[in-house]
């Protein structure tokens, strides 16, 4: 029964992650079809990510109060409806708005799926293995996205990419109703309305300020953040317990750095392959498999290793390999072939394969079951906000791929920023992530 629940929850993550890489491969076709420039294409990615990052804490808190099964089902319904709207979009603003709707659905899905798995596997080692499977399925979606998206775009255009979500949503929703325990509303718990009202503008305006370079949005984000912290400190039932936030600060910083580099790199490498090297969507999808393949294969293995040794060793190893891979971009020039890019793809893929399960495990280990949704919401918020910022910052650094020499120079800057950030994340891991007390390796020291 637990295995069926695990696989059903993995379907929710599969959908969310599939849409990340499918959309990236489809961006040139979307730009041509809707007459959308690079800024609009970035918003096709970030319209989803900004809403997702802004509402993840809310989604986790709603699940803790009303039951994660109910919220996951609501997430499937919203995500499926928004996916259909994306497929019908007639202009870039319509598509961006529909992608925001997908972000809302994903914000309900993501913390719920992780919380259900966390509650279903109370044993630390079993939970680490289950999270390894969850991360492996997530990585499989990332791997399948470029190839599936490239094939679909090449054969039928970009719209069917979004329609593919609809039957998967229906099947996953039916399985959730059948397999996941109903769960009851938690007595004495309530929705932190004031927390929601201040968290959403704090996160949303903060990410928007970086993407759009808006000083007004930055000020609004700071004001909302201060108000949020005041509200949460005084609330009898806060959406974000500050003790939980403090305990998970290190892992969540690394989570944000992981997606900043990973999601940002997917965008710029896809633009490089199609815009500079003039690969077709399908060819570009196949050429990025050295990034996504190791991520898919290593995630379950990393889950077992994390269960045995704790998350810190795998986090350090993954960050080091990924940093070296991104620094390899400094060696590219205008005449570089595909083989020159391969160390970047492999370093980032292997690094994230080791890192993903470990950092999620570090973020939820030791959190009481009644706060599992909040803990997973914090972690997913960090990851999605980091990914949105990565798309904005690294996309701005590389610029338009039509200017090939300037784009390659921008890749050098992107590689330097990404490599340096992950080296900082190694220091945060060593200082802020500890081996579990019940880890036999830790006890032997």
Please determine, for residue 445, whether its predicted confidence score (pLDDT) is greater than 50.
no
| Residue in 2, 117, 166 with CA at minimum distance from that of residue 361 | 117
| Angle made by CA atoms 141, 348, 102, in degrees to the nearest 5 | 35
| Residue in 324, 329, 326, 328 with CA at minimum distance from that of residue 408 | 329
* Domain co-membership, 210 together with 320: no
Q: Mark out the alpha helices in 35-164 (DSSP H runs).
A: 38-66, 68-88, 92-120, 124-156, 159-163
> What's the pLDDT at 186?
55
**Burial of residue 131 (number of CB atoms within 10 Å: 0-12, 13-18, 19+):** buried
Residue range 165-186, pLDDT digits in tens: 888 888 888 888 887 777 655 5
* Domain co-membership, 330 together with 385: yes
* Domain co-membership, 327 together with 433: yes
Question: Taking residues 23-45, what's their average pLDDT?
Answer: 82
Please determine, for residue 318, whether its predicted confidence score (pLDDT) is greater than 90.
yes
Integer Cα distance of 69 and 151 in angstroms: 34
In a domain, 444, yes or no: no
Residue 297 in tokens: 């294969």
> What's the pLDDT at 424?
96
> What's the pLDDT at 239?
72
In a domain, 17, yes or no: yes
Residue range 140-153, pLDDT digits in tens: 776 677 777 778 88
Q: List the single range of 10-14, 317-321, 332-336 with lowest mean pLDDT.
A: 10-14
> What's the pLDDT at 440?
39
Query: Over the chain, what is the mean pLDDT?
Result: 82
> What's the pLDDT at 330?
94
Integer Cα distance of 240 and 403 in angstroms: 45
* Domain co-membership, 384 together with 433: yes
What is the separation, in whole angstroms, between the first and last Cα of the chain? 38
Domain total in the chain: 2
* Domain co-membership, 211 together with 298: no
Instruction: Specify the higher pLDDT residue, 163 or 236.
Output: 163
**Contact residues for 382 (Cβ-Cβ < 8 A; gap 6+):** 252, 253, 255, 256, 259
In a domain, 442, yes or no: no
* Domain co-membership, 300 together with 224: no
Q: Domain range for residue 206?
A: 192-238
Integer Cα distance of 372 and 379 in angstroms: 11
Per-residue pLDDT band at 274 (split at 50, 70, 90): confident
| Residue in 116, 106, 107 with CA at minimum distance from that of residue 68 | 116
> What's the pLDDT at 373?
62
**Contact residues for 427 (Cβ-Cβ < 8 A; gap 6+):** none
Is residue 146 within 8 Å of 21, Cβ to Cβ?
yes
* Domain co-membership, 214 together with 169: no
Is residue 393 within 8 Å of 377, Cβ to Cβ?
no
* Domain co-membership, 152 together with 230: no
**Contact residues for 386 (Cβ-Cβ < 8 A; gap 6+):** 255, 256, 257, 258, 259, 260, 263
Q: How many helices (H) and strands (E) does the chain have?
A: 18, 0
> What's the pLDDT at 132?
72
* Domain co-membership, 359 together with 388: yes
* Domain co-membership, 295 together with 379: yes
> What's the pLDDT at 435?
59
Question: Taking residues 151-159, what's their average pLDDT?
Answer: 83
Residue range 87-138, pLDDT digits in tens: 999 898 999 999 999 999 988 887 788 777 877 777 777 777 787 777 777 7
Residue range 402-440, pLDDT digits in tens: 788 889 999 999 999 999 999 999 999 998 776 554 443
> What's the pLDDT at 179?
78
Residue 30 in tokens: 């979307």
Given the structure tokens 């295995």, which residue do they identify? 3
Question: Taking residues 214-234, what's their average pLDDT?
Answer: 89
> What's the pLDDT at 80?
92
Given the structure tokens 């109370």, which residue do they identify? 122
Give the CATH number, domain containing residue 423: 1.20.1250.20
**Percent over 70 (pLDDT), the chain:** 91
- 3-class DSSP state of 182: coil
> What's the pLDDT at 443?
40
> What's the pLDDT at 441?
36
Instruction: Specify the higher pLDDT residue, 269 or 297.
Output: 269
Residue range 339-389, pLDDT digits in tens: 999 999 999 999 988 988 888 888 877 666 556 666 776 887 788 778 878
Question: Taking residues 305-324, what's their average pLDDT?
Answer: 91
> What's the pLDDT at 258?
94
> What's the pLDDT at 395?
86
> What's the pLDDT at 97?
93
Instruction: Specify the higher pLDDT residue, 329 or 45.
Output: 329
* Domain co-membership, 78 together with 207: no
Length of the chain: 445
* Domain co-membership, 284 together with 168: yes
């Amino acid at each position: 029964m637990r295995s069926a629940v695990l696989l059903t929850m993995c379907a929710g993550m599969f959908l969310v992650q599939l849409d990340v890489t499918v959309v990236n491969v489809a961006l040139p076709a979307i730009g041509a079809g809707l007459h959308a420039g690079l800024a609009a294409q970035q918003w096709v990615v970030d319209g989803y990510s900004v809403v997702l990052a802004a509402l993840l804490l809310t989604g986790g808190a709603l699940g803790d109060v009303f039951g994660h099964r109910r919220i996951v089902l609501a997430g499937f319904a919203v995500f499926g409806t928004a996916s259909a709207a994306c497929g019908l979009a007639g202009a870039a603003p319509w598509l961006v708005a529909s992608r925001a709707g997908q972000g809302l659905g994903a914000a309900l899905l993501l913390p719920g799926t992780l919380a259900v798995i966390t509650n279903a596997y109370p044993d630390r080692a079993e939970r680490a293995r289950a999270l390894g499977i969850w991360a492996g399925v997530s990585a499989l979606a990332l791997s399948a996205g470029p190839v599936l998206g490239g094939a679909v775009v090449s054969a039928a255009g970009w719209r069917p990419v979004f329609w593919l979500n609809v039957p998967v949503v229906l099947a996953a929703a039916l399985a959730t109703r059948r397999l996941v325990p109903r769960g009851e509303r938690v007595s004495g718990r309530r929705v932190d309305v004031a927390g929601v009202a201040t968290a959403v503008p704090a996160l949303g305006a903060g990410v928007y300020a970086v993407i759009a370079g808006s000083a007004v949005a930055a000020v609004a984000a700071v004001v909302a953040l201060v108000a949020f912290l005041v509200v949460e400190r005084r609330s009898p039932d806060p959406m974000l317990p500050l003790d939980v936030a403090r305990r998970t600060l290190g892992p969540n910083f690394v989570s944000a750095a992981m997606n900043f580099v990973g999601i940002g790199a997917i965008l710029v490498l896809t633009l490089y392959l199609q815009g500079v090297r003039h690969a077709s969507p399908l060819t570009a999808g196949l050429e990025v498999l050295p990034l996504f393949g190791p991520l898919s294969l290593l995630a379950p293995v990393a889950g077992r290793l994390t269960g045995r040794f704790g998350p810190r060793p795998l986090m350090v190893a993954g960050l080091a390999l990924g940093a070296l891979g991104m620094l390899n971009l400094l060696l590219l020039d205008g005449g570089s072939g595909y083989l020159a890019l391969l160390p970047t793809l492999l370093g980032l893929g292997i690094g994230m394969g080791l890192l993903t399960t470990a950092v999620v495990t570090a973020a939820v280990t030791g959190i009481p079951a009644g706060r599992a949704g909040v803990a997973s919401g914090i972690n997913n918020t960090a990851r999605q906000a980091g990914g949105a910022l990565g798309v904005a910052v690294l996309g701005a650094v590389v610029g338009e791929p039509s200017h090939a020499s300037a784009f390659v120079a921008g890749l050098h800057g992107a590689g330097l920023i990404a490599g340096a950030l992950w080296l900082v994340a190694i220091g945060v891991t060593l200082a802020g992530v500890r081996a579990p007390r019940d880890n036999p390796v830790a006890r032997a020291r």
